[in-house]
Structure 1
Amino acid sequence: MPVFFNKYYPIRNVVFVIGESLLIFSSLLFISWLFKEQTVSDNNVILLVPQVLVVTIVFQLCLYFFDVYELRDDRPLLVMAIKITQAFGSGCIVLAALYYFIPQTVIESRTFWVGCLVIYIVITLWRVTYNYIFKHKLFVQSVAIMGTGEFARDIARELEGRLDTPYRMVAFVGKDTPAYNPNQVPVYKSLNDLHLSLSDRFVDRIVVALDDPRGGMPIDLLLNYKLKGVTIENGITFYERLAGKILVNKVKPSWIIFSKGFTIGRLQAFLKRSADILVSLILLILTSPVMILTIAIIKLESPGPVLYLQQRVGKGRRLFKVMKFRSMVQDAEKNGAVWAVANDARVTRFGKFIRKTRIDELPQLINVLKGEMSVVGPRPERPVFVERLKQIIPFYDIRHDIRPGVTGWAQVCYPYGASEEDALRKLEYDLYYMKNVSFALDMLIIFRTIKTVVFAKGGR
């Protein structure tokens, strides 16, 4: 599968997005040519191409921000049509502002509106077609899971739980009844039974997901499949690529030691730190009016300091004080540290707003300038929780080998969590980030964070 931003994407999804780009671009270009009765050789067409390209980019960005490119869930056509309408409406507003400031990008009114109608129809039909492909699992690889326990269950749930998976589960291999088998796929006692029962090309990939592989790994049979062109893959690596996270409870130290990644070179570290300084300075300048207004409202709403300083564990297990705008009443934790909960009574009215929009975290840009945090990285946790989590969650402490972040892969992929179970789930994403850290992945996370802030998702 193709890799973008150090993350794997199914080839069908890539074709879907690129195909939609081409449909938007070509539809509007065709309408423009049709109305102006131009030939392809006209100079005006050359000028029109960048104008149409601007519309394509704006529309696709709006489709992304309205979650229309979230392909893992099966959505009714009406819901999808509403989201496309909202995205196109927002796109028209953005383009109106753009046309006001950059008149050279303006497309003739009749061409634009007829083009929008055509694009809407074409995009809807395109999505209906792709939804059919996803539902009927066309153009996918057949996968047999070797294992029937918890490990195999986690992989099967991820395979069956998303519409856009590029795989079709066709068999389990194991002596016990699978812990999760909603589609009742066949279960074979051994790889030899699978080989005897089916043709050699029945499976394209065998995923090894044994809870305890000691003494139970049929090396000769796996080698036989491998030599016949069937892909043999470790369950941890397969799950990482499919889900964008790492199954912490199933990882062995040897897997981390021999895996690519989990290291940041000197040049990469220098560039990341330089980008942190530049981005934090720019954001502090751009958001200064918002922060000044926030300070004023906090002072008016409730007594107490504007900033809330809280001790967190940073890189190298060093303690530092993270800065946040105060969103709770004064002395909210006089009885000791507790996890935040939904509808927390300690949160002020304005505090709910700044938490939802993440405005309360803007002072952390100062922590970034001081070198205590990075713009992107694992979320820093409080020492009292860190000590507890280190005892119950494997590999939890290695997240402190890089600078914590204002935002991160776990924050944009997992809903706000405030429990030990949530800490485990977020660590799965944190380890994925540490393994695949790159400038491109950081940019993807920042882009997703913007969407999270704009739509006020995930705050508590």
Structure 2
Amino acid sequence: MTKTIPHKQMFLMTGDVLLIAVSLYLAPILRFGILIDPGTVFSRYDVLAVATYLLVLYIFDFYNTEERSSRTGFLLRFALAVAVANVANISVFYLFQLPPYGAGIVAISGSLAFVLLVAWRFVFLRVIAAARPLRLLILGAGRTGKSLQDYLRTRSDYEVVGFVDDDRGKREAVEDSSPPIWSGMENLCALIRQHGIDKVIVAITGQIRPEVFRNLVKAKFDCGVVVNQVPTFYEQVAGKIPVLHTTDMWLGFTDITGVERNVYNTKLKKVFDKAISVTGLILAAPVMILTAVLIKLESRGPVLYRQERVGWDEHIFELVKFRSMRTDAEVHGAVWAAEDDPRVTRVGRIIRRLRIDELPQMWNVLKGEMSFVGPRPERMAFVKDLKKEIPYYSLRHSVRPGITGWAQVNYPYGASKEDALEKLQYDLYYIKNTSILLDIQIIIRTIRVALFRKGAR
């Protein structure tokens, strides 16, 4: 851990303690309408309640001052954390018959705590935590390290102080480099202390020499810095896994495809999918009927469009959509769809923009061929080419494909091999981090994109 982050965490935690105490003090006042002497309120029961909140927030990783999740995802996770803390407090108070709290007091204090703590975190992240960017030292000045530097130029919360690389050719090739490229892998600790480094990022994609590895271990334990590999760092700060800068060793020691074996993916996700799909088909029935009528009125041909796609474990299935293109759209074979595709009909343009054309795929979900959330399924003609040109592309087939996905709410519309690479990086992040909270977040963001055209397509 760095020398600066613990101070930030302590400051954040101190603010939490004060605001939780305020919520506990105000709750009886709001409940009973009387002013209470603070000396009679803040007892061992309040200490227990505060400790419960801090423990739950810690478990939910809300003291990780480096994480930068989306606002929707943050609010969902924080609401769940506060709910868990409230349930825990109510359970403890009732189990041990501890006065003075009832469910009403806990509910009011929990609501106050949610509002106050969320506001405090937004202030903290925008003003306090961002006041000093995290200082990074990148180990390796090759393509991977430079690519990471290019990405971090878009982030005000990180500063690349320099590179360490013993390759003289790289150092001489970029004279007066900013940030500088230093030699001396054996003097990592000295560089870390001299330049106030908070984190070391290992951007070496080849084999790491034993002496370099020993120096990294020494830097971690003796100098008190966090050491990350590039894929792990990207995953934390960008919400994607950098395919071109990922090694077989990193993947080999990372449980990226094991999500199909956890409880949510094997059991709960299927129930979640079917419940959402049945509800969605019922609620969307009027819109789907109107869409079918409009498609029929505009042009001849079928209302529904059926197409073979590659699904889970590369099994082929027939995907169903509302037809949004002319019937002769692909007489010459499979073609990438474009954002302003001339083959799209007038009705098709509207339903594609609102994503209404995807609604029939809820039938695919009910049949177990798709999930509501997951990597979007591609056509076999495209998959064959992409597997040859993009590393680890087959990993996206380790889960069921989805109607919407992490890539769809994070990346703008794209229809090229370069876009497929970028979307794969988001897909792999989703596969590795699948959870019901992430699924709910994606669904909410998908609705926002469809209704307000905010965010990615």
Task: Give the TM-score normalised by the residue count of structure 1.
Answer: 0.69
For residue 161 of structure 1, the aligned residue among 154, 158, 165 is 154
| SS at structure 2 position matched to 1:286 | helix
Q: Who is 1:322 aligned against?
A: 319
For residue 204 of structure 1, the aligned residue among 198, 203, 225 is 198
Q: Who is 2:247 aligned against?
A: 252
What is the CA distance between 1:406 and its match in structure 2? 0.5
| SS at structure 1 position matched to 2:306 | strand
Deviations 1:2-52 (A, max 9, x none): xxxxxxxxx89x979x99xx8xx99xx9xx99xxxx7546xxxxxxxxxxx
Amino acid at match of 1:417: G
What is the CA distance between 1:367 and its match in structure 2? 0.5
Amino acid at match of 1:374: S
What is the CA distance between 1:252 and its match in structure 2? 2.4
Paired residues of 1:262 and 1:436 also in contact (CA < 8 A): no
What is the CA distance between 1:204 and its match in structure 2? 2.3
* In 2: Cα distance, 1:315 partner to 1:134 partner: 42
| SS at structure 1 position matched to 2:332 | coil
For residue 438 of structure 1, the aligned residue among 432, 435, 439 is 435
Quick one: structure 1 residues 310 and 459, their matched pair in 2 at CA, closer, same or farther if it must change by over 3 Å? farther
Structure 1: tracts of 5 or more residues without a match = 2-10, 42-66, 72-118
For residue 171 of structure 1, the aligned residue among 140, 162, 168 is 162
For residue 354 of structure 1, the aligned residue among 351, 356, 361 is 351
Equivalent runs, 1:272-351 vs 2, <5 Å: 272-351=269-348
* In 1: Cα distance, 2:177 partner to 2:153 partner: 9
Equivalent runs, 1:42-191 vs 2, <5 Å: 69=71, 131=126, 133=128, 136-137=131-132, 140-163=133-156, 165=157, 167-174=158-165, 175=167, 176-177=170-171, 184-191=178-185
Equivalent runs, 1:24-35 vs 2, <5 Å: none
| SS at structure 2 position matched to 1:161 | coil
Task: Give the TM-score normalised by the residue count of structure 2.
Answer: 0.69
Structure 2: tracts of 5 or more residues without a match = 2-7, 37-68, 74-114
Which deviates more, 213-222 or 252-261?
Answer: 213-222
Equivalent runs, 1:228-243 vs 2, <5 Å: 228=222, 229-243=224-238
* In 2: Cα distance, 1:430 partner to 1:178 partner: 39
Equivalent runs, 1:385-404 vs 2, <5 Å: 385-404=382-401
Quote the RMSD (CA, aligned, Å): 3.8
Deviations 1:181-204 (A, max 9, x none): 999233211234554456367212
Paired residues of 2:374 and 2:401 also in contact (CA < 8 A): yes
Quick one: structure 1 residues 373 and 156, their matched pair in 2 at CA, closer, same or farther if it must change by over 3 Å? same
Quick one: structure 1 residues 227 and 393, their matched pair in 2 at CA, closer, same or farther if it must change by over 3 Å? same
For residue 412 of structure 2, the aligned residue among 388, 410, 415 is 415
Q: Who is 1:98 aligned against?
A: none
| SS at structure 2 position matched to 1:447 | helix
* In 1: Cα distance, 2:173 partner to 2:374 partner: 35
Deviations 1:68-104 (A, max 9, x none): 9599xxxxxxxxxxxxxxxxxxxxxxxxxxxxxxxxx
* In 1: Cα distance, 2:35 partner to 2:174 partner: 57
Paired residues of 2:321 and 2:359 also in contact (CA < 8 A): yes
Q: Who is 1:271 aligned against?
A: 268
* In 2: Cα distance, 1:301 partner to 1:170 partner: 60
* In 2: Cα distance, 1:440 partner to 1:131 partner: 24
Deviations 1:134-183 (A, max 9, x none): 7643xx432211111221123223322123x3x43222112425999999
For residue 222 of structure 1, the aligned residue among 216, 220, 223 is 216
* In 2: Cα distance, 1:179 partner to 1:265 partner: 48
Percent of pairs identical after alignment? 44
What is the CA distance between 1:290 and its match in structure 2? 0.8
Paired residues of 1:316 and 1:401 also in contact (CA < 8 A): yes
What is the CA distance between 1:303 and its match in structure 2? 1.4
| SS at structure 2 position matched to 1:206 | strand
Equivalent pairs counted in the alignment come to: 362
* In 2: Cα distance, 1:182 partner to 1:276 partner: 56
Paired residues of 1:173 and 1:191 also in contact (CA < 8 A): yes
Q: Who is 1:429 aligned against?
A: 426
| SS at structure 2 position matched to 1:218 | helix
* In 2: Cα distance, 1:133 partner to 1:333 partner: 55
Quick one: structure 1 residues 191 and 68, their matched pair in 2 at CA, closer, same or farther if it must change by over 3 Å? closer
Paired residues of 1:143 and 1:203 also in contact (CA < 8 A): yes
Which deviates more, 224-233 or 393-402?
Answer: 224-233
Q: Who is 2:375 aligned against?
A: 378
* In 2: Cα distance, 1:181 partner to 1:216 partner: 29
Quick one: structure 1 residues 157 and 202, their matched pair in 2 at CA, closer, same or farther if it must change by over 3 Å? same
Paired residues of 1:416 and 1:458 also in contact (CA < 8 A): no
| SS at structure 1 position matched to 2:372 | strand
Paired residues of 2:339 and 2:414 also in contact (CA < 8 A): no
Quick one: structure 1 residues 422 and 290, their matched pair in 2 at CA, closer, same or farther if it must change by over 3 Å? same
* In 2: Cα distance, 1:258 partner to 1:274 partner: 30
* In 2: Cα distance, 1:180 partner to 1:287 partner: 59
| SS at structure 1 position matched to 2:193 | coil
Quick one: structure 1 residues 459 and 234, their matched pair in 2 at CA, closer, same or farther if it must change by over 3 Å? closer
Paired residues of 1:379 and 1:404 also in contact (CA < 8 A): yes
